Amino acid sequence: MILTVTPNVALDVTYRVDRLVPGAAHRVREVAERAGGKGVNVARILHALGHDTVALGFVGDAAAAAVADDLDRAGLAHRLIPVAGPTRRSVTVVAGDGEATMFSEPGPPVPAPSWRALEALLAGSLPEAAALVVSGSLPPGADDDACARLVRLAAAHRVPVLVDAVGAALLGAAEAGADVVKPNASELVATTGRADVAAAAEALRRRGARAVVASRGAAGMTAFTPEGCWHAAPPARLVGNPTGSGDAAAAALVAGAVAGAPWPDRLRDAVALSAAAVLQPTAGSVDLAQARRLRPQVVVEDHHGAGLDR
């Protein structure tokens, strides 16, 4: 079983329009709405890959039933803690050319007793877990140590943990000894204040993170690990909705860790799944047939630039 924690569960709303023109009125051609947030999206993709998952997190009480119903329909086990206030919405507008524009609300504050309830739920679930994913933004007012506490709980049960976060939450996860942290390249540099991705990754590893995987959008991703450094890139730039691509990559990385796959294979899977997710209209979905087609075309290079063709 793989656990996912989404501190800020969302209702993901996707609008499809012919063109997005600032200042203009738009007629929406298609609307899709589903339970979301980064950890929920990771759970969806892990479920599609055949893994048992349990999604943990907070949800605004105004839409808690709707979120739970959507997860039930998807066959996703969940243990969500309702908190006062509206569930945040994440609205993505996808134009006809595939360009996506995203608007993400902050979400409801989570009081300290609710955090303690989440930590208790997690502690009770970790003995049965193969891995933990903590992914997404923290709700308003969360203290800087919130993410680190979840990582330390996993470490106490010897459960590997992947964290996809930014800012103080990312630094705290590294210091708590997260096995993998997965920011995008710009977040990594901004969080650490270093001049480039390699220096920023080294800074996080010195803080305690075992491995750092930096997403580089259409250019792929780079992994800085104890075993070495690798970069993986898709065969071509794909047009579509990129909002769930990082969640697909996180799912592949944690699945590879559970399977004990070597890092080049984990990266190859992560880039293939990420690229296949771009081709889907909504975050949290992936075309596994497309991922299998793309996987052999992913170029993986070691830190000396040598191709790895396996």
pLDDT digits (tens, 9 = 90+) for 17-70: 999 999 999 999 998 889 999 999 999 999 999 999 999 999 998 788 889 999
pLDDT at 219: 87
Structure-token pair, residue 102: 């995203």
Residue that the structure tokens 């984990």 belong to = 266
pLDDT of residue 280: 72
Assign a CATH topology to domain 1-19+29-142.
Answer: UDP-N-acetylmuramoyl-L-alanine:D-glutamate ligase (3.40.1190)
pLDDT at 144: 85
pLDDT of the residue at 286: 83
- Please compute the mean of the pLDDT values over residues 100-111 and round it to a whole number: 90
Beta partners for residue 16, in sequence order = 30, 94
Checking if the pLDDT of 9 tops 70, the result is yes
Contacts of 145 (CB under 8 A, 6+ apart): 172
Q: Over 70: is that where the pLDDT of 238 sits?
A: no
| pLDDT at residue 309 tops 50 | no
pLDDT score, position 306? 38
- pLDDT bracket for residue 13 (50, 70, 90): confident
145-173 per-position pLDDT tens digit: 999 999 999 999 999 999 999 999 999 99
Torsion (CA) 210, 216, 221, 223 in degrees, nearest 10:
-20
- What is the average pLDDT score of the chain? 91
Residues designated as active site: 247
CB contact at 8 A, 193 and 167: no
Report the b/e string of 209-237 with b at 16+ CB within 10 A: bbbbbbbbeeebbbbbbeeebbbbbbeee
Looking at residue 239, what is its pLDDT? 60
pLDDT, average across residues 221-226: 96
The interaxial angle of helices 245-259 and 38-48, nearest 10 deg, is 50
pLDDT at position 278, please? 77
Domain boundaries, the chain: 1-19+29-142
Band (pLDDT 50/70/90 cuts) for residue 204 is very high
* Integer Cα distance of 4 and 125 in angstroms: 11
Which of 128-137, 138-147, 152-161, 283-292 bottoms out in mean pLDDT, i.e. has the lowest?
283-292
How far is Cα 182 from Cα 20, in angstroms, rounded to an integer?
30
Edge-to-edge strands, sheet with 77-83: 77-83, 53-60, 2-6, 131-135, 161-164, 180-181, 211-215, 221-225, 228-233, 299-302, 307-308
Judged by average pLDDT, the poorest of 55-59, 236-240, 270-274 is: 236-240
**Amino acid 307: pLDDT:** 37
> Which pLDDT score, from 0 to 100, does residue 21 have?
93
Question: Between the CA of residue 234 and those of 46, 161, 297, what are the distances in Å?
Answer: 21, 26, 7
> Residue 88: is its pLDDT beyond 50?
yes
pLDDT greater than 70 at residue 305: no
Nearest-5° angle of CA 60, CA 63, CA 64?
Answer: 70
82 CB neighbour count, 10 Å cutoff: 18
